[in-house]
Structure 1
Amino acid sequence: MDMDHVASNGLVLLGCGKMGSAMLAGWLKQGLPSGSVWVIDPNPSDWLQSTGVHINADLPNTPAVVLIAVKPQMMGAALPTLAAMGNGETVFVSVAAGTPIAQFEKVLGAQTPIVRAMPNTPAAIGRGITAIIGNTHVSDAALDLAEALLAAVGQVVRLESETQMDAVTGLSGSGPAYVFHLIETLAAAGQAQGLSADLAMQLAKATVAGAGALAEAATEDPAQLRVNVTSPNGTTQAALEVLMDETNGFPALLKRAVKAATDRSKELANG
C-alpha cells in the first residue's frame, strides 16, 4: 500500500481548512494527481478551487484513504455520511484533536482501520511534527501510508499506545503556543531594558527561531548546546540562574504547563 495505491483508488479529504490545505498542497507537490483527490468542504477556498481536485462531488466507493481534518464539533454531521466505507479496505486517518479511536469505531464500525494523528500548527509551513497510532485493524503497510501522507507537512513519530496521545497534545500539540508566548515575553523583557518594541520583537523572533533550528541541526543535545554558550560568571549564566531555578524557573513551570494541557486533553476525551 503506497502512494500509487492512493493515486489509483483515490483519497477523500474531509475538511480543507488550514491543516487540510497544507496537507493537500504537500501531496500535490509530491506528484499525487489532483484527479485522485476528493474534498468535502462546505466553504471551499479560491485556492482549493484552483487545484483541480474533485470538490463536494460523488465519492469513490472504496477510496484508499479518508483523511478527516474537520473540527471535532463538526464531526457528528460529517462522519455518518462516510459510514458505508467502514469495516472494509479504506483506511481512515484523523487529525481531529481530542477524538479517540473508539469514537470513530462506534460510527464507522469496529473492523475499520483507523489511524489517529496529532499534528501541530507549524505543519502550515511544512515544519510540523505529527504523532500517529493505529488500531488493531491497521496493517503495517497502512501505517506506512499514513506516515507518508502526514510527512507532507513535517516529521512523523509513532506512538506505542493511544494513551500517550494526551501527553503528545500537552507537549507538541499545544507546544507552539508556549513558544509564541516565550517570544512575546522575551521581547517585552528586552523592551523593559531599553530597546524599541520593534527591535526587541525582531531580536526575540530570530533568536527563538534560530536556536530551534540549531537544536535540530546540531549533533549535540540541547543541554550541551546550553553549556557551550555559557561562560563561567558571564551574562548567560546570570540569566540561567534565574531560568533554571528548580522552584520558580523553567523546570517547574513547564512541567506544570504540560501537565495542565495533558490533564485537559484527558478530560475532553472523556466528554
Structure 2
Amino acid sequence: MNKPIIYLISDSLGETAEKVIKSALLQFGNHREYELVREPYINDKEKINHLLLTIARENAIVGYTLVNPDLRQYIKRRSVELELEAIDILGPMLEAMERMFQKKPRLKPGLSHQLDEAYFKRVEAIEFAVKYDDGRDPRGIEQADIVLVGVSRTSKTPLSQYLALKSFKVANVPIVPEVEPPKELYQTDPSKCIGLKINAKKLNDIRKERLKALGLKASANYAQTERIEKELHYFEGVVKALGCPVIDVSNKAVEETANLILQLQMLR
C-alpha cells in the first residue's frame, strides 16, 4: 500500500507548515507511515495550479502557509473544484489579527527568518566574548563594553557569555600575582571595568570541587588557603588602582551578578 502524501505549500521556506503538520501527525503514528513533500517559494497562481493538479492525481492532502490573501483564496477555490483536502494554516490567524488590531498585515513572506540588526549584534558580542576570554588578547579591553576582572573561578567566562547574549561586548582579565595585568587595563575607562570579589572560604570550596572534577588532588596549591588569600590580596590592590566598581560574587548566581553589572552600565 502506498504511503499517504502530504504536500506543504509555502511562499517562504515552509518550515512553519512543516512544524504544524508534524505536530498533528504525531497523533497518528510515526514518520514511516506518511510522506511529506515541501514546496517552498510558491508565489503565483500558475505554480499553485500545477501543484494542485499533481496533488489531486496522487490523492494527497495539502497544508499551506501563504501571506497573500489572493493566493490563499485561489487555493481554497481550486481545492474545492478538484475535491482536494486543503488546510489553510496561516490565513485564519492573519484574518483574526487583522480584525483585532484593525490593521492590515505586512503580507511579506519569510519575516520569521529575517536576520535583523539585533541578531547580528548579539552574534558579534558572543564571538567577541570568546575571542577575548581569559585575557587572551589585551587589545579587546579597549574595544569592550564591559571588562570583568577577577581571580580564577569567579565566573568571569559564564558572565561574559551571559552578557554577550544581551549584546554587550565583554572581555575578561584573570588576576594572578605572578602576572602583571596588561597595561591596557589601566588605560581604559575604569567605569566599564567590574571587579569580581569573592570570600576566601567560598573560593576554597569552589576550587576543591574544580580539582575533583579534573581528577586532581584537592591538596594542590591552587586550592590552598594561603595561596587563595595571596591572590585575593593582590586582586584588591589591582581594583583599587583601577578605581572600578566591585561586586561580591561569593553567594550570587551568574544571573544575579549579571543584573547588577547591567544596572551599573545603565548608570554610566
Q: Same fold (TM over 0.5)?
A: no
Answer with 1 or 2: which has the greater Rg. Answer: 2
- The TM tier, using the shorter chain, reads 0.3 to 0.5
